[in-house]
Chain A
Amino acid sequence: MGKHVITMLPGEGTGPEICEAVRKVIDHSGVEIAWEYEDIGLDCLEKHGTLLPEKTIKSIAKNKIAIKGPTTTPIGTGHKSANVTLRKLFDLYANVRPAKLIPVLKRPWDQIDILTFRENTEDSYAAIEHMVSDEVAQCLKVITWPGSVRIAEFAFKWAKANGRKKIQCVHKANIMKMTDGIFLDAFREVAKKYPEIEAGDIIVDNCCMQLVRNPAQFDCLVLPNLYGDILSDLCAGLVGGLGFAPGANIGDNCSIFEAVHGSAPKYAGMKKVNPSAVLLSGVMMLRWIGEEAAASKIEKGMNKVLAEAKTLTYDAGGTASTDQYAEAIMRAMDTI
């Protein structure tokens, strides 16, 4: 396979140190990648006057693949989220987040392997908000038929290609009969084309309760944007927290892979943060571009380090630095 050109977005806070460790591990896998480093996030606001410079946009548009470190989204007021802007700009409509148990992290469950497919461009994330009187704010929840059909199509195709057995649509259509109703109707319509996959639906509040009570019953979940945001974090918590939670934002022609955790600015420069989530996002990216051997090598190396439990970052109960953990993974990869 030829050399890939991939946009690297280190982000801010702990992002640059995490992404540097991740780049070394990915390069160590033998895959040929020419990295294009571009700025994004609060740190480039002073430099470029924007969270998302035009040069960064052009690089992603050209390369079609990017991997991104964490960025901070100002709360309440101020600038728009760079993450949401990217998703909208490139129509990255499918947010895929796997939640699998990590061996070294002791959890109360034996088996969790849940894939969430979050619709990534609609819902209350359409950024249509108004103060309609001095004491009333409203936010439009926008759910469309074509947007709902394509995330359902994406989920069923992914499930079929990866041998998954069951997909459930998560909704609140008993209350939001039109918005969540259209999402559920579209899911049911698409499900008819995939009789080999068991299709069902579950109301979002019941889904949350069932997830914390018996997560092993779930396989794949398809959700509108807001429920997907919340439940994918819930799933990440079930398997050991955001330090091990990768994610992919996929569109028809462009994809951006990123961890779901924040930039942890209080740890910036200390090189102690767990790079696993960004690294696993990199593994997803390698699989997406057809580099299965490299992806598998990294995954096995990481699992070996976690199973040995000698070189772990603080969140996993160890004292290793970001770099020491990455170096241990590279040494483990050499033995595979």
Chain B
Amino acid sequence: MLTKATTGRAKRPSKPITLVGVDVYIITENGIPQFDDYGAFKIEFISNRGTKVWPGYVSEDLMLVNWYRCRFMATKTVTDADVDTFLAALTKKWKWSAAQKLWNYGDEAGFSKAY
């Protein structure tokens, strides 16, 4: 039900929203994950405590914890149903704590990159 509390607030001008990927938070004790081909979603980077650990240079001093943010970007136009299918496939092999859909707002990404 719409009330004054929901309709009277400050509104930000809205932009068209496009689903472009999904961040999945994987828990593993076996180091940096290696993923199968998931078709509609392709791994772009993996970070640990916000620091990119794949692909590219990783300091041998870097302390890794057992929780990795894995960014999967859509390889084609995707829907929420595609995300459901992808996560169902991922669940067969990986333990994950959360997933966050990645949206573009107009031309701007609504998500940060890893350091």
A interface list, Cβ under 8 A from B: 57, 61, 80, 84-85, 88-91, 93, 121-122, 125-132, 134-135, 142, 144, 146-147, 150, 251-254
Contacts and interface: CB of A to CB of B under 8 A. Distances in A.
A135 B111 CA distance: 13
21 contacts: A89-B51, A122-B49, A125-B50, A127-B47, A127-B50, A127-B113, A128-B69, A129-B112, A130-B23, A130-B100, A130-B102, A130-B110, A131-B110, A134-B14, A135-B12, A142-B50, A144-B49, A147-B63, A252-B61, A254-B59, A254-B61
Given A121-B49, A128-B69, A61 B59 contact: yes
Interface string B97-108: 000101101000
B13 to A, nearest CB: 9
Contacts of B110: 130-131
Nearest to B102: A130
A290 to B, nearest CB: 20
A130 B111 contact: yes
Nearest to A135: B12
The 7 closest A-B pairs by CB, nearest first: A126-B50, A131-B110, A129-B112, A88-B51, A88-B115, A127-B50, A91-B61
A166 B51 CA distance: 32
B89 interface: no
A150 B63 contact: yes
B11 interface: yes
B112 A134 contact: no
Contacts of A122: 49-50
B5 interface: no
Given A121-B51, A129-B111, A130-B112, A90 B59 contact: yes
B65 A146 contact: yes
A252 B57 CA distance: 18
B63 A91 contact: yes
Interface in B13-66: 14-15, 17, 23, 47, 49-51, 57, 59-63, 65
A30 to B, nearest CB: 31
A314 to B, nearest CB: 36
Contacts of A130: 23, 100, 102, 110-112
Contacts of A135: 11-12
A10 to B, nearest CB: 22
Interface centre among A132, A134, A147, A150 (most CB of B within 10 A): A134
B105 A89 contact: no
Nearest to B112: A129
A253 B60 CA distance: 9
B61 A134 contact: no
Given A88-B50, A88-B51, 14 more contacts: A80-B115, A84-B115, A89-B59, A89-B115, A91-B61, A127-B112, A128-B69, A131-B103, A131-B110, A131-B111, A134-B15, A142-B50, A146-B63, A251-B61
B49 to A, nearest CB: 6
Contacts of A147: 49, 63, 65
Interface in B65-94: 65, 69
A80 B11 CA distance: 29
Contacts of A128: 23, 47, 50, 69, 112
